[in-house]
Every structure is written in structure tokens, then in C-alpha cells.
Structure 1
């Protein structure tokens, strides 16, 4: 019998960490070297919610979803990185990426953004080649997901602190009682060496999909599409 499932995905040391939640309360967690392999495992899922920028600007102003997310997140607004313009994806160095981004948008690029550029490019190339996946693979921001699951209230603490980890774990357990089991399982996997905040970020994506039961909202409400037709949006659920 086919069961519905929802997948949350985060980047962990250049790999793809995924949590899958089924509607019968079962779950699994896995780590993939490539996004294509992740898709092959989860293409039957209702949604795959990924913490990675998807729709990209060509030039000019920042994406509305990033600006809106920052305004909603209060002290956590700095967790929303600047997203590169599309041309910068082809850069071979941080200096070149800064030069391209600056010429197109007037803004240089942070090293944090440059560090995840290969993963942004990987997902973009995947979605250009496999357009049927665009309805299933959607962009999230974990802090926005926590905001939604916490009565539209941002987190108080940085996620990399013990207080921040506990704060987020409590919200995950409130919506999914087995959350601790999933976190413990992922952190115990030999050879994975994932960070605690990687697993909570993947898990909040999966819980957002599961608890929404198909009722996700987009930020902004009427998102623009980029030059390749990808929506420049983040999805969120507010119970």
C-alpha cells in the first residue's frame, strides 16, 4: 500500500541530509552525495522541502521572499543569506562571484553564500533538466519554518547554541513526538559527522510538510518567477 510522505532536506558538509516522514508515523533519515540520488529515493513523496535557494534573480533588487523572511524573523534575520544572481553560479572563485554579483546587483557576496553555491547550482541544474520535479521540490528556510510552527514567533536563541538547539527541539517534539528519536538516530550514524543544527533543519522541513497536510503558504503570497520559470518563494505552514 502506498503511503504519503514528506521530506525535509538540508546541506551538511556538501552532502544532502534528508528526513522522510510517513503518514503512518514511521520515518527514515538518510544522507546522499548528490541531489539526483536523493530524488531517486524520494520522487514519490508529496513534497521535498529543501533549505536551498531555488528561484534566482538575474539582476537588480533582492528576492522579495528573502526581504520578507528577514522582516518576519526579528533577531534571526541574519540567518537569511544573500542569494546569488544566476550569472554568479558559474563563477570559479569567490572573487569572481563577487565581481559578477556586484555588476548585476550592486552587492558583493558573502563567503557563507559562496560556500553553498555548488549546492545551489546542483539543484538549479537538476530542476532545469527535470521540470516535472518543480511541483514537488520547494524552497524552505528552517528559521521561517520554526517561526510558522511557533505561532508566527521567531526563535530567541542562535541554533548553534545549546539553548537554541533545545528551543527548536521542543517545538519539533510538540508537532512530532518522535522528533528526538530521529535526531538521535542521525547523530549516531557512523561516518556521517553531521552537526546537530543540520538534522533539526532537515527535520523541521519534513514536519512542516507533514503537519500542513497540503496547506502550505508561500512567501510572498504571489511570488514572481525567475527567468527560467522557477518561483522565487519560500513555503511555510502556520497551523
Structure 2
């Protein structure tokens, strides 16, 4: 019997997902979904879905964001800038940037505005938040690609960045590809032209997330922080690796 898991990353086209069959590690599939619920209903279903998007939104935010962000940044060294602080739920559900910044200022201590980079992720955060329920947390887990690569790299940060000044950095992407190949991925699969609306970094991130999904399935992953809390809707607030 097949045992599929999926690593997922947000992209311009929606969600890029790398499916791996844990009973046959050489079997991998790449799919892009316009909406997150489509991924949840995909057949064959993934037993574990490891997605790079915040799950569990705070009502108020302290310095450094949620506990998961504060837990993983020290591990990532020069890569810690990839972990942005998740603002309050009220800010995430505000569609105008200036209004979102105003709400963020009122719901953070010390008062903090929102970066444009974070704001552009709000629609995808809302998309997951709209469908998530505590009953789903045995299947859907929040992950972060750089934390995934840290785990896969012997708990050491990657020495090269994926991007420099917002543009893809080929040496950094190749470094991550080579690490994934060492875990059994076919290089041709990782070097394929990404689907329209997705970048090479999105594909590699989804592949890394799929390896963490496998760790979760086998009980080898851990949450950051270990003593995680829950939001007002009962959703777990933790990043897994």
C-alpha cells in the first residue's frame, strides 16, 4: 500500500507541492494547486502535509513575533532573516496595507508595522486559516524551508543564501539541490523547469518540506517550541522539523 506525504510551498500560481511515496522513495510527483483546499482533496491523499505558511494566529504579538519564530531564528544564523514575524490575526485579515499597519501597531508590543513582504502573504495565510481546524493537525503541519534545510544539513545553517537582493542565487540553490539529492531525490526532478507561476526556489523548498513531512510521519520531527501554545481557535502554534 502506498504511503504519500507532501511538502508544500506558496507560489505565485498558488501552492506547489512535492509528493513522495514513503514506500517507494524514488516515486515523486510535482503538482501545483490554485487553492489550498484542492490540495487537501487530492487523490491519492497525502497522510502528512508539511506547508510553509503560518498556522495559528496570535491576538497580540510581542517582540520577535510568535514563539515559533523566536525559537528557530537562533538556529539559522545568517539565514534567520527568512523567518518573518507573524502579526496579529486582526492585521492578517485586513486587506488594505495601511490599515493593516495601523492594526498591527495597536496589537503588538512594542508597536510594529508590517513589511510589504509579509503583507503579500496574508491572502495565503487567510486561505489556510479559513480551512484549518484542530482535528486536522494530525495531517497538516507548519514548516519552514530554511529550518528544514538546517535539519537536513546536520542541524547547521546553509552557508549560501537562496536569494541576494530579492533575486535567485544559483550557487545557493545548487547547494540545497545537492543536499536534497543526498537524501534520495533525483537530480533531474529537482532541475526540471518549474511549473508556470513557481520558481526554482519554490520547487526546492517544497522538496525539503516533503522530507520533513516524512520525518513527521515516522515520528522523528519535533515542534519549535516544544512547549507550544494554541491560538483562540485552538490551532497549534509551532514550526516542525
TM-score (norm 1): 0.91
Select 1:181's aligned residue among 180, 184, 188.
188
Other-structure match for 1:110:
115
SS of match in other structure, 2:6: strand
Q: Which runs of 4+ in 1 moved over 6 A?
A: none
Which residue pairs with 1:73 in the alignment? 76
Superposed displacement of residue 89, structure 1: 2.1
Residue 200 (1) aligns with residue 201 (2): no
Q: Is the 8 A contact 1:102 1:108 kept in 2?
A: yes
How many residues align? The count is: 229
Measure how far apart 1:166 and its partner are. Answer: 1.2
The match for 2:166 is: none
RMSD: 1.6
Contact 2:13 2:197 in 1 (8 A): no
* Counterpart among 138, 148, 157 of residue 160 in structure 2: 157
> Structure 1 residue 166 and structure 2 residue 174: aligned?
yes
Instruction: List runs of 5+ in structure 1 lacking aligned partners.
Output: none
* SS of match in other structure, 1:199: helix
Q: Is the 8 A contact 1:76 1:154 kept in 2?
A: yes
- Contact 1:224/1:231, CA 8 A, preserved across alignment: yes
- 2:220 paired with 1:215: yes
Q: Secondary structure at the match of 1:223?
A: strand
Deviation string for 1:129-179 (max 9, x for gaps)?
A: xx432221100010000000111100111113111101111111111232x
Provide the rounded CA distance (Å) in 1 between the counterparts of 2:176 and 2:139: 26
- Write the mapping of 1:69-108 to structure 2, written as runs, cut at 5 A: 69-105=72-108, 106-108=111-113
Unaligned runs of 5+ in 2: 164-168
Q: Distance in 2 between matches of 1:211 and 1:36?
A: 23
Comparing both structures, which one devotes a greater share of its residues to helix? Answer: 1
Q: Greater shift after overlay, 103-112 or 53-62? A: 53-62
Instruction: Give the strand-richer structure, 1 or 2.
Output: 2
TM-score (norm: length of structure 2): 0.90
Deviations 1:193-217 (A, max 9, x none): 4211000110000022225523211
